Amino acid sequence: MKAAGWGWSARDLMRWTVLALWLGHGVWVVLGRGTGTALRRSLDLFTGPSQWVSMRWEGWKVARARRISDLAQAQSEIERLRWELEALRVQQAREAPERSEAREATRLLGLKPMVGLDLRAARIVVNNRKAPFSGMVIEPALGPSLLPDQGVIAAEGVVGRIWSASPQQASVLPLDAYNASTGVMLARSRATGVLQGTGPGRAEIRYISSQEVVQVGEAVFTSGLDRVFPRGLLVGHVVQVWTRGSELGVEVGLAAPLDRLHLVFVLPAEPPLEIEPPGQGSAKPDPARSGKR
Amino acid sequence: MRYAPPLIRHSLAATLLLGGIFFTAPWPSLQGVFHAFLVLGLAPQASNLLLAALWAAAGGWILEGTLRLYPVVGGTPWADITLVVLAATLARRWPPDRLWIRWAQLAALTALHALAVHGAVRLACGPHPWGTGWAWALASVPLWGTLIHHFQKRPSWR
């Protein structure tokens, strides 16, 4: 048999090397020497970078998914809050008249014990007093029918008087009507006069002597002499004073916001000249100390 | 026609297959396919027998290193060296000119390779599970056998 291939040429040396490699592996396996730890560690050196890249990649994906989830939640939250805000705005607009009326009722309820009279609440159902020959229409609470010349007041001040009445409704002649006359007095000088309407929210006091000293800003109260209002109810404040022959011209800004009123009190017919302040028996009220009276 | 030198083409392809074995460690079935492809298909096409044995041994060592299954390593590369020598001898003595002949040779070598690896690993570290890598390698012989057939019809090794 020819022994070619297993000599010492370069090709034969290669074959010897393969044989040595095979035998070395065989001996290694038979002796059971390799635990694989060093091999695995060396392979970990190669897998480390790819594992680091993989970790970064997975971390980026998780963070991105979380950001997307958070963004979606935030957007849905914003949308929900937007709807809630819109609903609250609608509700607020719907309840605004009721709240305004409730605030007014609260002020009126505070006024009632201070006046000390049997007041009767009424709701203003029509207010077109700026139109020619018009006024305010009120609807009183249940009770006997109203009578003409009953006084009408609000928490801020005097409103006017009943002009005509029916069992369910009554028309009111406001203080600023041209044909309205009300007995008033000035707070400092105690000079009395007659208040006549001159325009929306304005009125003028007649029959004040030019000898009187009247200051702008001075409070004006009812005098009680017309037997419609008791003495001491706030009417308004002096806004302008001028001399007109033998008398003073005194222009008054009315205290009651006649355009914004919803609830009023109706005074009893022919009230007493003086009203008793709460807790003071028959002592006279001091109008200068009370802004409301 | 200009082609890349066989040694460079062969080395690049073998390196790619080693990378495939390395990075498919989480999927042992796919890893078995790459392993059989390298040891039985590509390594015997090397320019010399020593290079073929080294590529096959490298494939075996990387497989055992990434498999992290055997307490004692070395059985797989030993079986790989054995089978690559056998495959190279077969290719030299009976070069498969037709595709189906190559498929038959590779199928037989794959079965023999599975037995040799199992036996060598059993000798090294005792009983161990067979796994399904050998079945996937056998089933995929038409795929990588065809690739090898078109890669180099005749081995340049003598």
**Mean pLDDT of all residues in A248-275:** 87
Whether residue A261 sits in one domain with residue A125: yes
d(CA A114, CA A279): 10
Contact check, Cβ <8 Å, B66/A43: yes
Whether residue A80 sits in one domain with residue A63: yes
Whether residue A130 sits in one domain with residue A105: no
Q: Give A218-259 pLDDT, tens digit per residue.
A: 999 999 888 899 998 999 999 999 998 888 899 999 999 888
Amino acid B2: pLDDT: 42
Could you count the other beta carbons within 10 Å of the beta carbon of residue B124? 27
Q: Are B114 and B134 in contact (CB under 8 A)?
A: yes
Domain end point (choices A116, A132, A156): A116
Mean pLDDT is highest, among A75-89, A104-118, A144-158, for A75-89
A155 versus A276: the higher-pLDDT residue is A155
Cross-chain CB nearest to B48 (options A14, A35, A47): A14
B142 versus A1: the higher-pLDDT residue is B142
Q: What are the chain B neighbours of A17 within 8 Å (beta carbons)?
A: 50
**Mean pLDDT of all residues in A182-204:** 90
**Mean pLDDT of all residues in A252-279:** 82
Residue of B nearest to A39 (CA): B65
CA distance B155 to chain A (A): 16
Please check the confidence at residue B124 and state whether its pLDDT lies above 90. Answer: no
Please check the confidence at residue A291 and state whether its pLDDT lies above 50. Answer: no
d(CA A144, CA A184): 29
Q: Give A86-120 pLDDT, tens digit per residue.
A: 999 999 999 998 888 888 788 777 777 777 778 88
**Mean pLDDT of all residues in A20-46:** 81
Whether residue A56 is contained in a domain is answered as yes
What contacts B72, CB < 8 A, 6 or more positions away? A29, A32, A33, A34, A35, A36, B124, B125
Report the candidate in A42, A43, A24, A29 with the shortest Cα–Cα distance to residue B76.
A29
d(CA A228, CA A272): 9
Whether residue A161 sits in one domain with residue A177: yes
Contact check, Cβ <8 Å, B72/A40: no
Whether residue A280 is contained in a domain is answered as no
Q: Does B67 touch chain A (CB under 8 A)?
A: no
Amino acid A72: pLDDT: 94
Whether residue A130 sits in one domain with residue A102: no
Weakest-pLDDT range from A71-85, A147-161, B3-17: B3-17
d(CA B145, CA B149): 6
Quick one: how far is CA A270 from the chain centroid? 41
Q: Are A221 and A190 in contact (CB under 8 A)?
A: no
Quick one: how far is CA A126 from the chain centroid? 26
Residue of B nearest to A32 (CA): B124
B interface test, pick of A11, A21, A30 with most B CB neighbours within 10 Å: A21
Helix (H, G, I), strand (E, B) or coil at B142: helix
Please check the confidence at residue B54 and state whether its pLDDT lies above 90. Answer: yes
From residue B155, alpha-carbon distances to A226, B81, B101 in Å are 134, 17, 15
CA distance A55 to chain B (A): 15
B interface test, pick of A13, A25, A35, A44 with most B CB neighbours within 10 Å: A25
Whether residue A235 is contained in a domain is answered as yes
Report the candidate in B90, B155, B81, B75 with the shortest Cα–Cα distance to residue B123.
B75
Cross-chain CB nearest to B65 (options A11, A43, A50): A43
Please check the confidence at residue B136 and state whether its pLDDT lies above 70. Answer: yes
Report ipTM (2 d.p.).
0.83
Q: What are the chain A neighbours of B64 within 8 Å (beta carbons)?
A: 36, 39
Q: What are the chain A neighbours of B74 within 8 Å (beta carbons)?
A: 25, 28-29, 33-34
Whether residue A260 sits in one domain with residue A127: yes
Whether residue A168 sits in one domain with residue A240: yes
A interface test, pick of B18, B39, B47, B49 with most A CB neighbours within 10 Å: B49
Whether residue A217 is contained in a domain is answered as yes
Report the candidate in B119, B60, B79, B23 with the shortest Cα–Cα distance to residue A39.
B60
Helix (H, G, I), strand (E, B) or coil at A184: strand
**Mean pLDDT of all residues in B106-124:** 94
User: What are the residues of chain A with a beta carbon less than 8 Å away from any beta carbon of chain B?
Assistant: 11, 14-15, 17-18, 21-22, 25-26, 28-30, 32-36, 39-40, 42-43, 46-47, 50
Categorize the per-residue pLDDT at A21 as very low, low, confident or very high, splitting at 50, 70 and 90.
Answer: very high
Whether residue A94 sits in one domain with residue A128: no
Q: What are the chain A neighbours of B66 within 8 Å (beta carbons)?
A: 43, 47
> What's the CATH number where A136 sits?
2.40.10.350
- Check the CA dihedral B70-B110-B58-A19 and report its sign: positive
Whether residue A53 sits in one domain with residue A144: no
Domain end point (choices A116, A142, A167): A116
Burial of A292 per CB tally in 10 Å (0-12, 13-18, 19+) = middle
Amino acid B15: pLDDT: 95
Q: Are A163 and A150 in contact (CB under 8 A)?
A: no
Amino acid B139: pLDDT: 96
B50 versus A45: the higher-pLDDT residue is B50
Please check the confidence at residue A188 and state whether its pLDDT lies above 80. Answer: yes
Whether residue A211 sits in one domain with residue A128: yes
Please check the confidence at residue A290 and state whether its pLDDT lies above 70. Answer: no
Domain end point (choices A93, A116, A139): A116
Amino acid A277: pLDDT: 58
d(CA A166, CA A144): 10
CA distance B1 to chain A (A): 31
Contact check, Cβ <8 Å, B81/A25: yes
Whether residue A179 is contained in a domain is answered as yes
Whether residue A274 is contained in a domain is answered as no
d(CA B124, CA B147): 33
Q: What are the chain A neighbours of B82 within 8 Å (beta carbons)?
A: 22
Q: Are A212 and A222 in contact (CB under 8 A)?
A: no
- How is chain A split among helix, strand and coil, in percent rounded to 5? 35, 25, 40
A131 versus B153: the higher-pLDDT residue is A131
Amino acid A278: pLDDT: 54
Report the candidate in A249, A248, A253 with the shortest Cα–Cα distance to residue A235.
A253
Helix residue ranges, H only, chain A: 10-31, 37-115
Whether residue A83 sits in one domain with residue A204: no
d(CA A224, CA B29): 111
Q: Give B15-43 pLDDT, tens digit per residue.
A: 999 999 998 888 888 999 999 999 999 99
Amino acid B1: pLDDT: 39
**Mean pLDDT of all residues in B92-98:** 86
Whether residue A130 sits in one domain with residue A111: no
Whether residue A250 is contained in a domain is answered as yes
Q: What are the chain B neighbours of A31 within 8 Å (beta carbons)?
A: none
A289 versus A58: the higher-pLDDT residue is A58
Cross-chain CB nearest to B85 (options A18, A40, A43): A18
Please check the confidence at residue B122 and state whether its pLDDT lies above 80. Answer: yes
Q: Are B83 and B40 in contact (CB under 8 A)?
A: yes
Question: Which residues constitute the domain of residue A261?
Answer: 120-266
Amino acid A147: pLDDT: 87
Average pLDDT of every residue of chain A:
84
Cross-chain CB nearest to B78 (options A11, A25, A40): A25
Q: Does B69 touch chain A (CB under 8 A)?
A: no
Helix (H) or strand (E) holding A197: strand A192-199
Please check the confidence at residue A284 and state whether its pLDDT lies above 60. Answer: no
Helix residue ranges, H only, B24-132: 28-36, 49-67, 75-93, 99-125
Copy the structure tokens of residue A112: 């009632």
Domains contained in chain A, number: 2
Categorize the per-residue pLDDT at B158 as very low, low, confident or very high, splitting at 50, 70 and 90.
Answer: very low
Whether residue A33 is contained in a domain is answered as no
**Mean pLDDT of all residues in B62-87:** 89
pTM listed for this prediction: 0.47
Amino acid B92: pLDDT: 86
Could you count the other beta carbons within 10 Å of the beta carbon of residue A9? 11
Contact check, Cβ <8 Å, B85/A50: no
Q: Would you list the DSSP string of B75-89?
A: HHHHHHHHHHHHHHH
Contact check, Cβ <8 Å, A32/B57: no
Report the candidate in A261, A98, A99 with the shortest Cα–Cα distance to residue A174.
A261
Amino acid A83: pLDDT: 96
